[in-house]
Amino acid sequence: METSSNAGAQPNRSTGMANIRYGVYSQPSNIAGKSIKEIREQFSKIWGIPNDAVAYCGKDKLDENAVVQPGQNVEFHRRAGEKG
Amino acid sequence: MAVHFIQSTLLKETHMNPTDSKRFILVGAGGIGTWLAAGLVRLLEWKFPNSALIIVDGDTYEEKNKERQDFTKLGNKAVVKATELVPQFPKTTIIPVAKWVVDDNFSGVADEESPKIKASDLIRENDVIFAVVDNFAARKILFDAAAKLNNIDVFTGGNDDALFGSIYHYQKRDGVEITSHPAEFHPEYHNPPDKNPGELSCQQRSEIEGGTQLLATNMAVASFILGRVQKTIVSNQSPEETEIFFDLGIGKSEPYNRMHSALNETVTV
């Protein structure tokens, strides 16, 4: 398992578009410059993102203080289907 | 009609040329597995004649399963499903394995009432595995056993009690992971929150609730997996839609690329 990182964190908060994904949802949004915590709060109610859904950029795990950069693809991981 | 099965003890002796024929192993013949079996056997019969479909399940089909599962009579699920398919598909060798899959470190009892098979005794190089059980623990056992091989495909899928579901395709070629092990993204595969029914007693298994799953979602999981098999196995194309989430309630699906080559790139929108 990869370790948690600040891969998305940058000293300057560049604003602009980035992509956010969670399960069946995927949407370019004006989230660059915001932290993972802020994005989670913004989308948790409309998409149902749980508090324990880990955020990733590629294989890099992003902590709650990481700041999203323009053009990044941020994914909150959705638990897989269990039953069958 | 007399039906002749190859004994499960001969599993390792079913030699196949991986380019001309396939060995598909379906683990879990339930709400997803029975519908998937119907598709896989047809695919083998016409696209890869003289292949093998091995159906693995230690569970028993009961009347209460009828709402979501495709069986014509009561009995062990692997045996009943194989008995149904054998007369219909003469170009495919169909082998039932009426056992629960356990990991190599399993040290419990394997008696006649609860027969087991170790994952590493079940699968081998060039197999295509379908892990459509109802828990993460058994899926993890199959993925971990597959990860020790050099050339393997593992498809899995599952759903919730409503209209959400997901599938995943793990692929290795020549010892290299083409797609990531699902545990890299899913903590539920790293530390399963549930237990493998194969490692429980009969009494403990009987106490597990089947939930309130829906037929439509079970069939959709089977269809999504079959679609991936068509693209990546039959047509030998890239497994870039490695993981797919869907929600029948809102009519959406979304593919995710979990290939190592893609994950190492910088993704921009």
Q: Where are the domains of chain B?
A: 19-263
The Cα-based distances of B142 to A34, B19, B119, B165 in angstroms read 40, 23, 6, 20
Cα–Cα distance for residue pair A11/A70, rounded to 1 Å: 14
Predicted local confidence at residue A5, as pLDDT: 47
Predicted local confidence at residue B210, as pLDDT: 63
Rounded mean pLDDT, B130-148: 97
Q: How large a percentage of chain B has pLDDT more than 90?
A: 76
With beta carbons less than 8 A apart as the criterion, state whether B110 and B8 touch.
no
Cα–Cα distance for residue pair B242/B158, rounded to 1 Å: 15
Nearest CA in chain A to B209: A83
- Tokens matching residue B141: 């056992």
**Residue at B205: amino acid letter:** R
The interface predicted TM-score of the complex, written ipTM, equals 0.85
- Other C-beta atoms closer than 10 Å to the C-beta of B161 total 13
Beta-carbon contacts of A69 under 8 Å, excluding residues fewer than 6 positions away, are A8, A10, A14, A18, A32
- Nearest residue, CB atoms, A71 vs list B157, B184, B268: B268
Q: How large a percentage of chain A has pLDDT more than 90?
A: 79
Cβ of B135 under 8 Å from any chain A Cβ?
Answer: yes
The Cα-based distances of B52 to B48, B126, B220 in angstroms read 9, 12, 24
Cα–Cα distance for residue pair A80/B28, rounded to 1 Å: 17
With beta carbons less than 8 A apart as the criterion, state whether B223 and B43 touch.
no
Beta-carbon contacts of B15 under 8 Å, excluding residues fewer than 6 positions away, are none
Can you spell out the DSSP letters for B123-134?
--TT-EEEE--S
Cβ of A17 under 8 Å from any chain B Cβ?
Answer: yes
Cα–Cα distance for residue pair B136/B197, rounded to 1 Å: 11
**Length of chain B in residues, anyone?**
269
Average pLDDT along chain B:
91
B 193-212 near A (Cβ less than 8 A) = 194, 211
Cα–Cα distance for residue pair B75/B38, rounded to 1 Å: 18
Note the pLDDT tens digit of each residue in B248-268.
999 999 999 999 988 765 455
State the distance between the two ends of chain A, measured CA to CA, in whole angstroms.
26
Cα–Cα distance for residue pair B158/B149, rounded to 1 Å: 24
- Nearest residue, CB atoms, A80 vs list B32, B158, B213: B158
B13 has pLDDT over 70: no
Domain A4-9+20-76, CATH among 3.40.50, 2.40.30, 3.10.20, 2.60.40: 3.10.20
- Tokens matching residue A55: 């955020």
**Residue at B196: amino acid letter:** N
Note the pLDDT tens digit of each residue in A24-45.
999 999 999 999 999 999 999 9
In chain B, which residues have their Cβ closer than 8 Å to the Cβ of A79? 186, 188
In chain A, which residues have their Cβ closer than 8 Å to the Cβ of B133? 84
Note the pLDDT tens digit of each residue in B69-107.
999 999 999 999 999 999 999 999 999 999 999 998 988
8 Å CB contact of A24 and B250: yes
Q: What is the largest CA-CA distance in chain B?
A: 60
- Nearest residue, CB atoms, B160 vs list A17, A18, A83: A83
Check if CATH label 3.40.50.1950 holds for domain B19-263: no
Predicted TM-score of the model (pTM):
0.90
Q: Which residue has the tokens 């579901």?
A: B165
8 Å CB contact of A25 and B254: yes
Which pLDDT band, with edges at 50, 70 and 90, does A15 fall under? confident
With beta carbons less than 8 A apart as the criterion, state whether B149 and B238 touch.
no
Cα–Cα distance for residue pair B183/B181, rounded to 1 Å: 5
Predicted local confidence at residue B204, as pLDDT: 79
Note every long-range contact of B238-242, with CB atoms under 8 Å and residues 24 or more positions apart, other chains counting. B239/B169, B239/B171, B239/B178, B239/B179, B241/B169, B242/B168, B242/B169, B242/B179, B242/B180
Beta-carbon contacts of A66 under 8 Å, excluding residues fewer than 6 positions away, are A5, A6, A7, A8, A9, A35, A36, A55
